[in-house]
Amino acid sequence: MYRVKKLDDSNMATVIKYGINEKKCKSLNLWGNRFTYKSITILTNVLGGNTTLRELDLSHNLLTDQGVEIISHFLSFNTCAIKDLDLSGNDITDDGAQYLANMLTKNQTLKFLSLNKNLITDYGLSLLVKAVKNSNNKLTVLKLESNPDITPNGVEHAINELKENKILQDIYFKHFK
């Protein structure tokens, strides 16, 4: 059986060269690799002036809150074209949710954010909900499936808080406590 080696931080420069600089990709799927915050630093340094990349899938990597802090900071202060961001399965905790919530209060392009299969609790959920509710962001879809520490009470609170929100169209919960 042939097994392909997963990409890691040492491969990010190659991904950027061929996927972003040469091919001008609109969608970059880096799902299921071994990228860490180091790769995110390299990636965000290149994406600053990029106007073509619309979808970025970084799900099931090793980003943790450290990588989320970097990408959140980037998306807060840079005008890029990313509309869809998938950070599922990266061991993101409430600290990461705080970084993302802060970003959502400033970002005007992101429409889809997936945080499935992370470690976000009711507290992190409340931070995200507050950011969506009280800011002028364009987020239409928020996915929080399979975050085992989100409880029915947290879900109920989120739904009640977002009743008046006209922008967010879908929020997904599944497999919670």
Domain assignment of residue 20, yes or no: no
Residue 1 confidence (pLDDT):
44
Tens digits of per-residue pLDDT, 7-65?
A: 999 999 999 998 888 888 999 999 999 999 999 999 999 998 788 999 999 999 999 99
Cβ atoms of 105 and 134 within 8 Å: the answer is yes
Split into its structural domains, the chain has a count of: 1
Domain assignment of residue 165, yes or no: yes
Residue 71 confidence (pLDDT):
98
Within 10 A of 160 (CB to CB), how many other CB atoms are there?
10
Domain assignment of residue 140, yes or no: yes
Domain assignment of residue 148, yes or no: yes
Domain assignment of residue 14, yes or no: no
Domain assignment of residue 15, yes or no: no
Q: Residue 163 pLDDT > 60, yes or no?
A: yes
Query: In terms of residue numbers, what domain contains 162?
Result: 25-172
Residue 76's domain is classified under what CATH number? Answer: 3.80.10.10
Domain assignment of residue 157, yes or no: yes
Domain assignment of residue 4, yes or no: no
Helix axis angle for 64-77 and 94-104, nearest 10°, is: 10
Q: List Cα–Cα distances, 38 to 42, 99, 157, in angstroms.
A: 7, 17, 36
